[in-house]
Amino acid sequence: MTAVHTPTAADSGASASANFRSTTRSSLDVSPERVSTVVTAVLQGVHEAIRVHDVTYPEFQAAKQWLMDLGEGGEWPLFLDVFVEHVVEEVAARTQDGTKGSILGPYYLPDQQRLPSVTTLPARPDEQGDALVFSGQVTDLDGKPLSGAELDIWHADSQGYYSGFAPDIPAGNLRGVVVTDSEGRFEITTVQPAPYQIPHEGPTGQMIDAAGWHPWRPAHLHLIVRAPGHRTITTQLYFAGGEYVDSDVAEAVKPELVLTPAEGRAVYHFVLEAT
């Protein structure tokens, strides 16, 4: 069995921050009125919480120190993806049809190996975990198959670690871009991912511990599904009966996104709306 050194929150946070900066461009043109409206609302929410809960100066100073530690530890992507992104996705979903979306999370890495419609995800020769065959079809809202659609898929290994964010795991492990066949179908052989704790020995974990929460996410597959002329879907698929499905720390589970595997096989069909 391949030895894996446990990744630290600092290492994971630094990797997530570097990946975010390399793949995100801050080119959004937002009017001063829009900035004022949203920032004012956020500040008013903070002010109201202070008033309602009689926040003391020591508590305020502790919060200030925690915010400084969060930034210095590179954990802003982790914190925002776990505790905030699901609401942004919820708002976006109000005007969208087709397959339900979910959060992207901090562990996406672009430009992975392109793979045929029937494939096995790149894995270590001694990759641990139960085999999982994940198959389905990509169609439009009318049920028309989308040939050549891409499923950008990635997931944790059987110990809950992601390649690119944990030492000793090869680049591209359990990641790939699968291209559907002429009928929009795909079949991906991989291993069952494990639930995992978000990196929690840093500032994010300190907050979780202080609040008496748990840091666990249920086992899931990440997917970005795209096809020319259609809205790209970013989503996650979970496993019925799995640990933490009903208590995901990121609050990202939706009933429509829960798989029911049978004998190591799981089926899910994606529906994309035209743009």
Whether residue 162 lies inside any domain: the answer is yes
- CA dist 145 and 172 (Å) reads 28
Examine the pLDDT at 9 and tell me if it is beyond 70.
no
In this predicted model, what pLDDT tens digit does every residue of 93-152 receive, in sequence order?
898 999 999 999 888 999 999 999 999 999 999 999 999 999 999 999 999 999 999 999
| Residue 3, in any domain of the structure | no
pLDDT computed for residue 91 by the predictor: 93
47 in a domain, yes or no? Answer: yes
**Distance, C-alpha 79 to centroid of its chain:** 12
Is the pLDDT assigned to residue 19 strictly greater than 90?
A: no
**Does 4 have pLDDT greater than 50?**
no
Give the mean pLDDT of 230-235: 97
Looking at the domain assignment, is residue 89 inside a domain?
A: yes
In this predicted structure, the answer to whether residue 18 has a pLDDT above a threshold of 90 is: no
Q: Please say whether the dihedral angle defined by the alpha carbons of residues 99, 242, 157 and 181, taken in this order, is positive or negative.
A: negative
220 found inside a domain? yes
Q: How big is the chain, counted in residues?
A: 275
Name the token pair of 222: 């990440």
The pLDDT value given to residue 23: 63
Contact (CB, 8 A) for 187 and 264: no
Query: Once rounded to an integer, what is the mean pLDDT over residues 238-267?
Result: 96
Q: Which domain holds residue 12?
A: 8-20+29-275
CA-closest candidate to residue 174, choices 182, 159, 44, 146: 159
pLDDT-derived band of residue 78, with 50, 70 and 90 as boundaries? confident
User: Cα(267)–Cα(188) distance, rounded to whole angstroms?
Assistant: 10
Interval 33-56: pLDDT, tens: 999 999 999 999 999 999 999 999
* pLDDT given at position 22: 66
- How many structural domains comprise the chain? 1
The whole-number pLDDT of residue 7 equals 53
pLDDT, residue 269, reads 98
CATH number at residue 130: 2.60.130.10
Across the chain, what does the average pLDDT equal?
A: 91
Whether 36 is covered by a domain: the verdict is yes
Domain-located, residue 81: yes
- Evaluate if residue 27 carries a pLDDT over 80: no
Helix (H) or strand (E) holding 138: strand 131-140
User: Which region among 24-38, 161-175, 221-235 has the lowest average model confidence (pLDDT)?
Assistant: 24-38
With 70 as the cut, is the pLDDT of residue 12 above it? no
Whether 1 shows a pLDDT value over 50: the answer reads no
Q: Rounded CA gap, 187 and 99, in Å?
A: 18
Cβ atoms 195, 218 nearer than 8 A:
yes
Whole-model pTM? 0.84
